[in-house]
Amino acid sequence: MLKIDNLHVKLEEEDKQILKGLSLEVPAGQVHAIMGPNGSGKSTLSYVLSGRDGYEVTEGSATLDGESLLDMEPEERAAAGLFLAFQYPVEIPGVGNMTFLRTAVNAQRKARGEAELSSGEFLKIVRAKAAELQISPDMLKRPVNVGFSGGEKKRNEILQMAMLEPRMCIMDETDSGLDVDAMRLVSDGVNALRGPDRSFLVITHYQRLLNHIQPDVVHIMADGRIVKSGGPELALQVEEEGYGDLLAEAR
């Protein structure tokens, strides 16, 4: 599904290398987690994959089902099936959550040559999915993320994911700022989306989220590279011992 090969990325504006030969492959249907100390480049990886400005790829490749992501505009990547759940979802006053969601869903359908959803069809689907995530009809009507609590914003991200039905989901510290109940809701939302044709790349600082969203593979990232990969037990090891030994071992 997602294949990243020897990816080198620097900041566009300054001479600072952030990713230094990162390689990673997430097969269809799998959940991979990335853990790593602050400043290891985890968020940069998620932004570069989804097409945010400000980064320059100096070497390497990233493909989704064999198609190069790096040549696409952000909206093209979305239509190709990539989704990034933001660590800090953006507030957009004056634009209704529903209007935004319906525009996004239909723009993607159009880009893929599929029929657009009528407002009736859309409403029916969004109401059902919102209910599962305990998102109230009022939240759907409000402007995008405006006045939402931290937990509501993250649930709104998962609602967008559920509506857009991406094949490759990247989650950038979705657990940050969530209380236990919200984490369970978000995790249940994600688990409901798991399937043989959908993959996840879950970026997190804490093992706790991985109790709820069981990963197939855990990668440890440091200084712009994957330094070690293993099973879920790797996350437990980080939780107990910190990164010190793992990083020393990798060197």
- Residues lying near another protein in the complex (CB under 8 A) are found at 50-53, 73-75, 77-79, 83-84, 86, 89-90, 92-95, 100, 103-105, 107-108, 111, 143, 160, 164
Question: Rounded to 5 degrees, what are φ and ψ at 205?
Answer: -90, -25
Token pair for 208:
């706790």
CB 12, min distance to another protein, A: 12
Measured between alpha carbons, how far is 226 from 52 in angstroms, rounded to an integer? 21
Query: Are the beta carbons of 24 and 224 closer than 8 angstroms?
Result: no
Closest CA to 3 of 67, 81, 55: 67
Nearer to another protein, 100 or 206 (CB): 100
Nearer to another protein, 147 or 231 (CB): 147
**Residue indicated by tokens 């039905």:** 165
CB 107, min distance to another protein, A: 5
Alpha carbons within 13 A on the beta-carbon side of 183: 16
**What single letter denotes the amino acid at residue 69?**
L
Nearer to another protein, 90 or 115 (CB): 90
CB 142, min distance to another protein, A: 12
Query: Are the beta carbons of 140 and 126 closer than 8 angstroms?
Result: yes
Nearer to another protein, 80 or 210 (CB): 80
Query: Are the beta carbons of 100 and 92 closer than 8 angstroms?
Result: yes
Question: Rounded to 5 degrees, what are φ and ψ at 115?
Answer: -70, 145
Query: Are the beta carbons of 171 and 85 closer than 8 angstroms?
Result: yes
CB 195, min distance to another protein, A: 20
CB 101, min distance to another protein, A: 8
Nearer to another protein, 103 or 214 (CB): 103
Nearer to another protein, 31 or 170 (CB): 170
Query: Are the beta carbons of 171 and 190 closer than 8 angstroms?
Result: yes
CB 108, min distance to another protein, A: 4
Paired residues of 200 in beta bridges: 31, 169
